[in-house]
Structure 1
Amino acid sequence: MKAIWLLGVLLMTTGDASAATRESIIDAWMRDYTGRVPGASVLVLRDGAPVFQRSYGLADLEAGVVASSTTNYRLASVSKQFTAASLLLLAEDGALSVDDPVKRWLPSLPAAADGITLRHLLSHTSGLVDYEDLVPAEQTRQVHDADVLRLLEHEDRLYFPAGSDYRYSNSGYALLALVVERASGQRYATFLQERIFTPLGMTATRAREDDGPAVTDRAYGYSRVEGHWQRTDQSTTSAVLGDGGIYSSLEDLARWDAALYDDRLLSATSRALAFAPATATPEPDVAHYGFGWRLQGGMQWHSGESIGFRNVLLRFPAQRVTVIVLSNRDAPEPYALARRIAGLWDARP
């Protein structure tokens, strides 16, 4: 194993390896996901084509269902790029502007929100209070996007004046899903399906709703509890869609990645807005945040963490390389792993 690790380090430095060697190295790095354990799916795209695609472990421990390239994992905060894209599509339609005051669309917010725009929500500069801290500890009923609005209606305060600082905010993206509904006249999940998923051929991707279409080939989330894997698939905040409620697979995310290189979904102007450095951040490997994207040099990325799932999507557009790692377990966070995998193809920020 040490020899494989050293070879991986060498290849990350030189970028010189055969396909078989890269496969062996990645398989070694993924050994903890192999067997009758919660699994993971890995995809490397280069010039739009898969140069590595493999799944490990199980999507459903109880039923013994193996993970595959069509397994749909809960994306958690990787979902935010779809929420941002929805706003940009509506801006292209002329239905809204990213500089609209949020209270144009959500007038029940308190006076503290008067200065907040949709741009602030998109770039995590709104100063909104984290809704997760407002949910009663004893609550078992799931929170929905509309509930986030109701919670914030009673919080006439901000962490800082809108636009003056950065603080990662799930509250902001939950509100953006409601803005999409009000500006489009459609349920958020329906808008995603009709305007993004279906046009791109992402036929199995879903914003999961209890009363909506079922998630097919679904991975269930697990956590390690006292040495055993325990299903921990949903929490009280898992039903909030705008900040993290989308399920997708390697195959569908490859279609999403392809659409970010041309005009098939978003115009060049909208794509430039999504990837423009809207605000500086103090987060590691996140020099700036755009609209639904973390930006670090030449790398565009986002991670997603929710109960039972850890995911990451890294894009290196200059090298035309994308690395996606999806997993249905509470740990480890796969960002460092994805960076190592990207290094095998000489992709760096």
Structure 2
Amino acid sequence: MTEWLDAALAYVERWMGFQMQLTEQPGCVVAVAKKSELVFSRALGTADLRTGKALTPEHRFRVASHSKTFTATGIMKLQEAGKLHLDDKIGKYVPGLDATVAETTIAQLLSHAAGIMRDGRRSSHWQVTAPFFDDPALREELALPLVIDANTRFKYSNLGFGLLGFAIEAITGEPYIGWISREVVAASGLEQTTPDMPVAPGAPLAFGHSGRLPFGRGVINGHQPTFALAAATGFVSTAGDLARFFASLDPAAETSILSPASRREMTRRHWQVPHSCEPRYYGLGTMLMEASGHALIGHGGSFPGFISRSATIPDWGISLSVVTNSIDGPANAWLEGIVSIMDRFSKHGAPAERVADWASRWWSLWTAIDLVPMGDKVFIANPGAPKPFTDEAELEITGAAEGRIVLANGFGSHGEPVRLGFDATGRPDHLFLGGGDWSSDPRHLSISYDGLASGPKSTAA
């Protein structure tokens, strides 16, 4: 597997560079773990648009609802120790709840089936206009009746996971932050993860940013503590730590703080997400879906100024995480795009030596394309697409600098020739694809920038 994975990740890095320029995102970090070992970690862009400081893989991000997976892991660890049972009613451990809330079970809270309000009667903390709920404020919300009957449908609730944080404190006799830091974070070997702000002095911290509309990107103060909602949304981490943590939750993982039985229970489908355009499911603190024909087990996170997504893919024993520092960061689409790239390489393999040199990017007035060797063929990818190999064309290489399009969309140039053109130094500088002429340098395109406010942006791969 190593050869195809290395080749896939090499293209992931090129594709992500194009995507960052296309979307004009401030920053992004992508990390991939194989059997809990980090094998890929790349940072692109800036940690803070005000200073232009380069982003690094060590920068911490607010990873929001990834916190729920950490909390669920802690609950499963307590069950393994005989301190609780998933069928226990939450009122057994936490007093002062409305009677309907007290009757809900730990399993219902973990799977978002308890029927509790999502964010409370007012959730101004998500607009950064008020602090997150402290203990008294959260208990005041939990003294209200359920919004819908328990165990009737999936209904996401940050308050429900805050309640699970209260349960952990009641059962362990310790504050949630201290217990989860020791028993889940440190026990999992994570050194760049904390359950809430502040982070350790000197730890690099990415700043969150707004979307581009309506006034252009601005910095969002996304570094506030989340207090009683830390169990739902407080965590601060890196892409690398997240990839390694989710790798440990794969039921087949060799190293984990949980038993295989607990991991299977966490990662099986408990509820389907209703009213969704594509099938999605929820386990116990885990989001479940399929992408490019592969099961994904993970979670996402949305916090003021930050969007993140992580998943393990059991088919390959691989986990990945994408973290962004903008409220419109396409972390979800990028993660699924990376899975689609891996899928293609897993099927076709690393490039054979005779086609490896065809790896390149080409430009026309209309768009850019990538030639991506896999196996003994060369594929045409669209680096601007969310999934670059959608309806990709295939080239058969018949000589050192020529070939033929052996598979293409009906609107493409199926069956037509392909040829490389070279400059005076012998470097490929033109691609003749069917009847089209593509350049290796976008500055050679027939575009005039005279009188425009700014010239073309950088086109680095």
TM-score (norm 1): 0.85
Partner of 1:57: 45
- Alpha-carbon RMSD across the aligned residues, in angstroms, is 2.8
SS of the equivalent of 1:131 reads coil
Matched, 1:117 2:105: yes
Q: Return the offset for 1:44.
A: 2.7
Whole-Å separation in 1 of the counterparts to 2:106 and 2:76: 11
Whole-Å separation in 2 of the counterparts to 1:75 and 1:102: 26
Matched, 1:140 2:130: yes
Instruction: Tell me the percent identity.
Output: 26
Which of 57, 72, 78 is the aligned partner of 1:84?
72
Matched, 1:312 2:309: yes
Name stretches of at least 5 consecutive residues in structure 1 with no aligned partner. 1-13
* Structure 1 consecutive aligned stretches of length 4 or more whose deviation exceeds 6 Å: 136-139
Deviations for 1:111-139, whole angstroms, at most 9, x for unmatched residues?
22243011110000000122333357997
- Count of aligned positions: 330
CA contact 1:205–1:249 (8 Å) conserved in 2: yes
Q: Which has the larger radius of gyration?
A: 2
* 1:139-218 correspondence to structure 2 within 5 Å: 140-144=130-134, 146-153=136-143, 155-156=144-145, 158-209=146-197, 213-214=200-201, 216-218=203-205
The structure showing larger relative contact order (alpha-carbon pairs under 8 Å, at least 6 residues apart) is 1
Whole-Å separation in 1 of the counterparts to 2:197 and 2:221: 14
Whole-Å separation in 1 of the counterparts to 2:20 and 2:187: 33
SS of the equivalent of 1:216 reads coil
Partner of 1:331: 328
Whole-Å separation in 2 of the counterparts to 1:50 and 1:75: 19
Whole-Å separation in 2 of the counterparts to 1:236 and 1:15: 38
CA contact 1:208–1:247 (8 Å) conserved in 2: yes
Tell me: CA distance 1:231–1:136, structure 2 relative to 1, closer, same or farther (3 Å). Answer: closer
Partner of 1:245: 234
SS of the equivalent of 1:337 reads helix
Tell me: CA distance 1:315–1:226, structure 2 relative to 1, closer, same or farther (3 Å). Answer: same
Name stretches of at least 5 consecutive residues in structure 2 with no aligned partner. 347-461
Tell me: CA distance 1:51–1:203, structure 2 relative to 1, closer, same or farther (3 Å). Answer: closer
CA contact 2:62–2:222 (8 Å) conserved in 1: no
Which of 207, 210, 224 is the aligned partner of 1:223?
210
Tell me: CA distance 1:286–1:237, structure 2 relative to 1, closer, same or farther (3 Å). Answer: farther
Which of 266, 277, 280 is the aligned partner of 2:258?
266
Q: Which amino acid in structure 2 is aligned with residue 42 of structure 1? A: V
CA contact 1:79–1:245 (8 Å) conserved in 2: yes
CA contact 2:47–2:207 (8 Å) conserved in 1: yes
Tell me: CA distance 1:90–1:205, structure 2 relative to 1, closer, same or farther (3 Å). Answer: same
SS of the equivalent of 1:241 reads helix
Deviations for 1:275-310, whole angstroms, at most 9, x for unmatched residues?
121122223445321011111252112211111010
Tell me: CA distance 1:192–1:310, structure 2 relative to 1, closer, same or farther (3 Å). Answer: same
Which of 332, 343, 346 is the aligned partner of 1:346?
343
Q: Return the offset for 1:238.
A: 4.1
Q: Which amino acid in structure 2 is aligned with residue 223 of structure 1? A: S
CA contact 1:181–1:187 (8 Å) conserved in 2: yes
Q: Return the offset for 1:264.
A: 3.1
Q: Return the offset for 1:27.
A: 1.8
Whole-Å separation in 2 of the counterparts to 1:322 and 1:178: 30
Tell me: CA distance 1:18–1:252, structure 2 relative to 1, closer, same or farther (3 Å). Answer: closer
CA contact 1:208–1:214 (8 Å) conserved in 2: no
Q: Return the offset for 1:333.
A: 3.5
